[in-house]
Amino acid sequence: FVPPVASGGGGAQLCGDLDGNPVTLESWVKGHKDNDRELVQGLKGEPYYLISTPDNIKDFALLSVCTHLGCVVPWSKAANKFCCPCHGSQYDENGKVVRGPAPLSLALAHTTTVKGNLALSPWTEQDFRTNVDPWWK
């Protein structure tokens, strides 16, 4: 059991590393290249992918839990997709489902910083990949 990291303000919750410690944006950028995706402890302690840009991270994070039966979905850099090892579902680089049996795209969260530390907040508006209301609300 890893205790969740402390919550930040404004509905944002700090991201935690494998040990649950906060992660600064500065250290993240130093340790990653453009288009790298790596898991952090996110909302409710669940594993979310942050996506690197050349000098920042994208403004959304992806819950890594497959919408079929809940396996954690690895990122395949070679395929530029998330490929679920359990039953073969695939998601594009933005987490939109492109092959079943998964019925839905990966859940989104907003990325932000709280005093320099990476944080996530709930995504409650339309899913920009499908233009429908989020199923995870």
Residues near ligand FES (CB under 6 A) are: 66, 68-71, 84, 86-89, 101-102
- The minimum distance between CB 77 and ligand FES, in angstroms, equals 19
If the CB atoms of residues 101 and 134 are measured against ligand FES, the closer one turns out to be 101
What secondary structure does DSSP assign to 105-119, as a single string? Answer: PPPEEEEEEETTEEE
Whole-angstrom Cα distance, residue 11 to residue 137?
A: 14
If the CB atoms of residues 37 and 68 are measured against ligand FES, the closer one turns out to be 68
- The minimum distance between CB 92 and ligand FES, in angstroms, equals 15
Contact in structure between 81 and 93 (CB atoms under 8 Å): yes
If the CB atoms of residues 97 and 108 are measured against ligand FES, the closer one turns out to be 97
| 73-103 b/e (C-beta count within 10 Å ≥ 16 → b) | bebeeeeebbebeeeebbbbebbbbeeeebe
If the CB atoms of residues 102 and 108 are measured against ligand FES, the closer one turns out to be 102
- The minimum distance between CB 47 and ligand FES, in angstroms, equals 14
Whole-angstrom Cα distance, residue 39 to residue 59?
A: 15
